[in-house]
Amino acid sequence: MSMAAGAQGGGKRRRRGRRGGGPINEINMTPFIDVVLVLLIIFMVAAPMMTVGVPLDLPQSKASPLNSDTKPVTLSIRQSGQVFLGEDELTDDTIIPKLTQEAKSGFEERVFVRGDKRVDYGRVAQVMAIVTGGGFKKVALVTEPEQR
């Protein structure tokens, strides 16, 4: 009687889709998706913190933002009157040489001037005069949108 039960295959079971003990050729995507989602969240949180240059308290205005495809060269003026290109402090004599070095499209490069709202207006005008006197024609002031 036991021979009849063994002949019907009661001892071995066949699994669907796999034969024998060969390697599995399916990739488990769950860990990959988990890592990608964690990286996405990290970049979404870190992106607003990546500001250009030194931190400033910019004035607010109702002006609409400019649409620009290329990243402009940005000068920052602190409350004390110090001028920065990115993180590097500049003197009035080194503004134009550093701008021409940074400008990829020459004197047609767009130059943004970020001035702290407590900086003397005369200092902002002086820096803009240095930039336009050096040959740059596209000079603009940067402000924050007004909070409502």
Secondary structure of 14-29 as H, E, C letters = CCCCCCCCCCCCCCCC
β-strand partners of 75: 85, 113
How far is C-alpha 69 from the chain's CA centre? 14
CA distance 67 to 91: 30
Q: Is residue 70 part of a domain?
A: no
* pLDDT score of 68 more than 70: no
Q: What pLDDT was estimated at residue 14?
A: 54
Contacts of 56 (CB under 8 A, 6+ apart): 76, 77, 78, 114, 115, 116
Q: Is residue 28 part of a domain?
A: no
Residue from 59, 147, 131, 54 nearest 139 by CA: 131
- pLDDT band at residue 22, thresholds of 50, 70 and 90? confident
Q: What is the pLDDT of residues 72-130, one digit of tens each?
A: 788 888 888 888 888 888 888 888 888 888 887 778 788 888 888 788 888 888 898 89
Q: Are 83 and 103 in contact (CB under 8 A)?
A: no
Q: Is residue 109 part of a domain?
A: yes
Q: What pLDDT was estimated at residue 8?
A: 53
Q: What pLDDT was estimated at residue 37?
A: 94
- pLDDT band at residue 66, thresholds of 50, 70 and 90? low
The whole domain housing 138 covers 86-148
Which amino acid would we find at residue 71? K
Q: What pLDDT was estimated at residue 12?
A: 58
For residue 124, the surrounding DSSP H or E stretch is helix 121-133
Q: What is the pLDDT of residues 37-64, one digit of tens each?
A: 999 998 888 876 665 566 655 566 665 6
**Total structural domains in the chain?**
1
Q: Is residue 107 part of a domain?
A: yes
Contacts of 6 (CB under 8 A, 6+ apart): none
Q: What is the pTM of this model?
A: 0.54
